[in-house]
Amino acid sequence: MNIILFGPPGAGKGTQAKLLQDKYAIPHLSTGDIFRTAIKNETPLGVKVKSILDSGQLVPDETVVDLVAEELKAPKYDNGFILDGFPRTVPQAEAFNEIAANQNKAVDAFVVLTVPEKELVSRILSRGQGRADDTEEKIKTRLEVYRSETEPVQNYYKAKGVEKEINGIGTVEEIFDRITSSLH
């Protein structure tokens, strides 16, 4: 099963991805994790990504798509995957659709976690990750970027008939039950 977890910052994608990984025994691929590992290990990609992020820019679509395409070639993804943090733009979604077709890894479910903005801000402020941009003002800016650049991806997958909108309010278990019910 090939799943994309989608939603704004603070929606619970990472939490739910870990639960889905355990339940379905398929790997979770987070572009953020791949970037952090590459930066930490100072790989050529890591050095490139770090300089982009340090300048306050978003990593270009082509770089992100290449990264995911390369990662998905690993045998551990042969029985499925859970993507989190990708695709973030319609061009990424279109490029990924081509890659997925070439690798015979079409998306089975595009799971959207919907959470009101007030709750998202509260969650991010309370999760204590210590991100430099975890102030209410910066969080609202990140949510605005999400709405303008990332949310249109939902319409792309809705048109493909694989979108599943899930209420992201409730206990972790309640949300997980809603997701797994939608997958059957």
Give tens-digit pLDDT for 125-184. 887 655 666 678 878 888 887 888 788 999 999 999 999 999 999 999 999 999 999 998
Q: Is the pLDDT of residue 119 over 80?
A: yes
Contact present, 110 and 164 (Cβ < 8 Å): yes
Reply yes or no on whether 178 is catalytic.
no
Q: Which CATH number do you get for residue 83?
A: 3.40.50.300
Domain count for the chain, please give it: 1
Give the global pTM.
0.84
The active-site residue, picked from 131, 138, 147, 160, is 131
Q: Exposure of 130 by Cβ count < 10 A (0-12 exposed, 13-18 middle, 19+ buried)?
A: exposed
Q: How far out from the chain centre does Cα 52 lie?
A: 19
Domain of 151 in residue numbering reads as 2-182
Predicted local distance difference test score (pLDDT) of residue 66: 83
Supply the mean pLDDT for the chain: 88
Reply yes or no on whether 147 is catalytic.
no
Region of 128 please: left (phi>0), alpha (psi -120 to 50) or beta: left
Q: What is the pLDDT of residues 63-91, one digit of tens each?
A: 888 888 888 888 999 999 999 878 988 99
Predicted local distance difference test score (pLDDT) of residue 97: 92
What is the arithmetic mean of pLDDT over 3-7? 94
Question: Among 8-17, 20-29, 128-137, 143-152, which is the least confidently predicted range?
Answer: 128-137
Q: Is the pLDDT of residue 62 over 70?
A: yes
The active-site residue, picked from 40, 127, 140, 160, is 127
What pairing do the DSSP bridges indicate for beta strands 163-167 and 2-6? unpaired
Reply yes or no on whether 138 is catalytic.
no
The CA distance from 134 to 121, in Å, is 9
